[in-house]
Structure 1
Amino acid sequence: MKILVVGSGGREHALCWKLSQNPKVDAILCAPGNGGTARLGENVPVKDDDIPGLVALARDREVDLVVAGPELPLVLGLVNALDSEGIPCFGPCAYAANLEGSKAFSKNLMHEAGVPTAPFRVFDEYDEAVAFVRKKGAPIVVKADGLAAGKGVVVASTVDEAVDALTDMMVKRSFGTAGARVVVEETLQGEEASFLAFCDGHNYALLPSSQDHKAVGEGDTGPNTGGMGAYSPAPVLPEEKYAETAELCIKPILKHLAAKGEPFKGVLYAGLMYTEDGPQVLEYNVRFGDPECQPLLMRLETDLLTIMFACIDGKLDTIEVRSTPQTACGVVMAAKGYPGAYPKGMEITGLDEADAMDGIKVFQAGTRLDKGKTVTSGGRVLCVTALGDTLAQAKERAYQAVDKIHFDYSYHRRDIADKGLKRLS
């Protein structure tokens, strides 16, 4: 069986790694891939937003399954385009992918489906948005409606900050057309958790809870990033609360989209905030999170390929999705300066030594192969992920592996999973 994985990050390396464990898989293509995926299969220089190029690649290479890692190709209609060619793709159709592609669409759908979320307003006119912000006061959240690479959300502590954010998005177009429309919503206070489920349009199978660390600096300080580390499970969302939480944030969305004739198939990711009033949905993603994917796939025991085809075929209720009771912790090693400007091209050493450690897997993200050497090519370079019998052990193992890896201008947080350890104590 031949599989095409779309994307180039640590999530895509993890997907290739997990799928390669199925004995039926004899070839993996990754478009465009990275230094890690190149060691598991063949990287093909087709970008993740080139829908015609990806369809042609899948058709010409007689691919049996396409797996979309990031959200962009899903929002652009990759599943729909492949469906017209009779090629199965794991992920939602373009309409359902708007849960992530448009924050206004997502918030309105939550409202229609009765999902708990912060009160909000949607604006197409700058002056109206500014007037609303001045009337409501701060703190307040301003979100670009469209995809902005995880950077289109500003939690403004003052009215001036909120107006500046509106100016950047709607007037200066710092996020292009993504900021032409904005969502303004009340600020939620609490601790976050990520809750993901495999979905086949009607049925769902829950993955364990996890928690991402968005801020670049320790103690959740500094600008937001794509994620500096994650661990699973997250004590803020214990296993005994999974079913109840799914009734709040997974089941209503699946039911609502199915009723619209646009069933959701793939991974539905609810970003939750645990407030004094209980869990509220901050946002939905329509794919695995990165770096949550890495700890979650380390824990997943059921064959991933089997799960994906069950989702596509509407037969998820015929299989059991199991994860190990062990804990997993992933620490992102980044290039100093990220999420701003950062250097590239530094040689990475110690990868094989770290990978050989018990319970460790080093997932590559911003890397490429250069004359047999692995060098950095992005801001988030690696996600060093460890299994452990406890969260403390998983964290200890992850940092032991981190300490064996070196590249110039390397940076990582040392407090990944500390919130979970504090809650457990």
Structure 2
Amino acid sequence: MTASIVGAGIAPLPAGAADNVVTSRGIPIPAFYTPPSTLPAENGALIRTEPLPLALSLPGINGRLPGDATRIMYRSTDSGGGPVAVTGAYLEPAAPWLGLGPRPLVVLAPGTMGQGDQCSTSLALQHGLILGIGQEQSTVSIGYEILAIYRLLAQGIAVVQTDYIGLGTTDRLHTYINRVDSGHAVLDAARAAKALPDTSVTARSAVGLYGYSQGGGAVASAAELQSSYAPDVRLKATYAGAPPADIADVTAAIDGSELAGALGWSVNGFVQSEPDLRPLLDRHLSDTGRAVLKDLSTMCVGDALFAYGNRHSSQWTVNGESVVDIIRAEPLLRDYLGAQRVGNRKPAGIVRVATGVFDNAVPHGQARTLAVDWCRLGGDVVYAPVVLPDAGNPLLNHFGPLVTDQGTAVDWLAHRLAGLPAPSTCAILPLQP
């Protein structure tokens, strides 16, 4: 498929890109995902677009259901202040918007997909399942965010989904859970969607944010950064589900769990964003640990669950120290993680913070603390503890609230975008679990 170029003077696909195919764990990454050498000057500016065929769609009376999709690449700014290309997808719903005002736009920040470029959500929208079995390095990625996206489209809400910095694009590694990178990618996705021609989204369209887990942290960061980084984005409401607001707490929780592979993605991303951490990493990592981080850098979440689930980070270090031990011993790392904390700035718009009370993967306590911190800062916060039985398993305790609360979260966001008020629950938060 040939990419279309939006805007005068914007670089096309690299010359000879089709002859220089980049692969990740044996999966070819389309040439679309290779950024040009020169990027636009403005954040949110479109770099290139192309039609995106959806894996799950049905013929309707007035077109395809749930709508039409466009793959996008847009400019953002990374945590070091440099320009960066980010990919994603815009979805124009077939369903009408029945609320007041123009059709609203929701930026969906995906949950954890992995660190390999084949894991990007925009590719998952096209293929549903990315599968490479029997190759030198097998891989599997499932587009589980499709359900949330389609629920929003069914309500007549336009959706733009970001792949985040470095996930999909072949020029750098994905900076997993980096607060600034993820917040910028979310806000610039909204700008890019409004720059697309021939959509029903207008400059007056209200913007909402939706994310769970990694996505919950990304939209929480975006809500904090909006006033300083993107005041032009008309942010009205945010749903932040199971946000990893305190990375140190999350690190301690997932070490030795099914999600232990996420430790490697975090470390890989930290070192790319902050090169001063490299000597520290070299000092503590064993040869085994280096091999694990390299392996994880191309893995999707399914791959990591099978390969590194229930592993302990102490198996990857020279002296048998865990990542938590190293954080406690290294001031530079402690300071870096402290700067990644979400909850030190008042969020824009109204925010619904949802967290499972037995979530011990992205710990309930640190998510609840985020709501408390935002209330103290004068934020407009709806705190929603999700009460489910303790499944006795961190993975189930984390994903159970995603499934059970998703419909409520989508409805809540739609009502806010339609202009219906929602009272803050800050006053009763001390009484809630």
Which is richer in strand? 1
Which is richer in helix? 2
